[in-house]
Chains A and B, each alone.
Chain A
Amino acid sequence: MTSNSTLTGSGGTAPQTAVAPAADPRSRAVGQRRAVPSSPPRRPWYLRALRNRLFGWLVFAAALVVWQRYATAHPSPKYASVSDVATDWWSQIGSGPLLEATLQTLRTMMIGYGIAAALAVLAGVLMARVRFIYVLLEPPLELLRPMPISAIIPVLILYLGIDDKMKITVVAVGAFFHILLNAYSGAGSTHRTMMDTARTFGLSWRQTMTEVVVPAAAPAIFVGLRSALAASLVIAVVVGMIAGNDGLGHFLMIEQQSFQVTDLIVGAVTVAMLGYLLNSAFLLIERRVLHWHFGATRAQD
């Protein structure tokens, strides 16, 4: 307030402004500097830690430690310690039944998934763009879609046996609908201006599909491909359990029935890691193929 009184003094009879600090050029400068939007005040360290991704991993590691302690403190055939599972996994994954089962499941899954992807993208795009195909395929697909995949396994076993042919078919059927629905909606929602562009540039129907409709639908198709990938793994494992002759599902059932708890958990961990790796690989490919889509989405924000 001292500067304020100086101002009044120099101004003599000048009327005093109601908001005194604003009248002082220096205090206004300070006020402006304060008003500049800056990052919010730093949170205390424990709140910051809760927002760090590392936090989740630490909790996970702590859970492993608790598990390890509990298993070693209560020796029982029902519990396997973390260290036993880890060493067992390491010694088994390189060769033998576990590796064989893993490769078998991966093979079944990838072939089925690949077939589903090709057919579902084709069917989805055609249904979205050709009225005749839509009226032809919509009723049977709509009836089959709500059917749980587990319900058709016995039927397929009856007709296809319990070998690869059946397993691949089950995976393909299960993955198909995830991709179909997304491909259909993606291919059906190409922007009108983009379709008009294709028409005015004289693209044939086929060129319009391959050069405009499918690339424009790619982000939607990838959403379907990703959920189908997760479903494929589940189905590939389960179908191995039901058919009971090979793959990780079969491995898990054998270990469970023979009460090999460590090996059972080793098998479960392998499935989990397979899922994680497949998803990571998928995201990597998606980033590459759809980099334009992610870029365009960011640019709009």
Chain B
Amino acid sequence: MTTLTHPAAADSVVTGAQLVLEDVWKVFSTSRHDVTALRELSLEINAGEFVAVVGRSGCGKSTLLRMLTGLIPPSAGRITLGGRPVDGPPREARCVFQDYAQSLLPWKTVGGNVRFGLRHAYEPSSGPRDELVAHYLDLVGLRHAADRYPWELSGGMQQRAAIARALAARPRLLLMDEAFSGVDALSRAKLQDVVLRAWAEAGLTVVFVTHDIDEAVYLADRIVVLRPEGHGLLADLRVDLPRPRGQVSTRELPEFLAYRRELLQLVLD
């Protein structure tokens, strides 16, 4: 374990929720044997933090995220969000799934999907619905596509629509499960900046699962590295790169490259 730092709370106005995991295990039982997807994970994610979770496939990072969404319960241990135990999908959390085509409602337009987010919001927005829809579409640069259907759009645009829908619900915690691995590299860069801007504006807590080290360093305040095959925490690394971050400027900083090297060594060893 290289570094284990507990970052200070972010200094901007924060409305995000604090997430605490205490000795969390997840075991999937089949008829023949039990598979331990994640063991002994304890973490404290501060309100307003942007945390990336990385690790090789099979390390349990997606299992971890599904537990945070409340879609599956931990086998042992405790997860609390804002002090309350997570025993079902928390009202203040929204998730952006990797499979955007199955997450957006194909019978609704992009605007209709954002409206869905407004209607099923954690904190209802006030104001005319049309203006709110336009606002959230602006946030992801999709205003022009409000009347189009998701399946008429590229993958990157669909995922932006899904992000707009999640943000329209004004969550305190945004969970992203390899959300950008299905889109091309250029759309991906755009999506990363969309999420960073939304995070900065809304003061959310974000937990971002990815297998892309560069993406994790570029986005996060803090990177949680999981050991292979569900063996729990390997490293918890604070990323001290200046914000706002830029696709070109940040990625050529020597510090960026140093973080990248450190993480790659951790993950590949």
A contact residues vs B (CB 8 Å cutoff): 191-194, 196-197, 199-203, 207, 211-212, 215-216, 218, 292-293, 295-296, 299-300
Contact = CB atoms under 8 A, between A and B. Distances in A.
A251 B152 CA distance: 51
- The 9 A-B residue pairs with the shortest CB-CB distance in the complex, in nearest-first order: A193-B102, A296-B151, A201-B120, A191-B102, A299-B151, A292-B107, A200-B95, A193-B99, A200-B89
Given A295-B151, A296-B151, A196 B91 contact: no
Contacts, number: 61
Nearest to A203: B120
Interface of B: 69-71, 89, 91, 93-95, 97, 99, 102-103, 105-108, 116-117, 120, 122, 149, 151-152, 169
A200 B102 CA distance: 14
Contacts of B122: 202
A300 B155 CA distance: 12
Given A203-B120, A295-B151, A299-B151, A194 B102 contact: yes
Contacts of A191: 102
Nearest to B97: A193
Contact of B71 (A199, A216, A296): A199
Contacts of A218: 107
Given A191-B102, A193-B97, A193-B102, A200 B151 contact: no
A212 B108 CA distance: 11
A199 B89 contact: yes
B72 to A, nearest CB: 10
A202 B91 contact: yes
5 contacts: A191-B102, A201-B169, A202-B91, A218-B107, A296-B149
A197 B117 contact: no
A296 B158 CA distance: 13
A49 B23 CA distance: 74
A197 B69 CA distance: 10
Nearest to A198: B120
A299 B71 contact: no
A294 to B, nearest CB: 11
A200 B99 contact: no
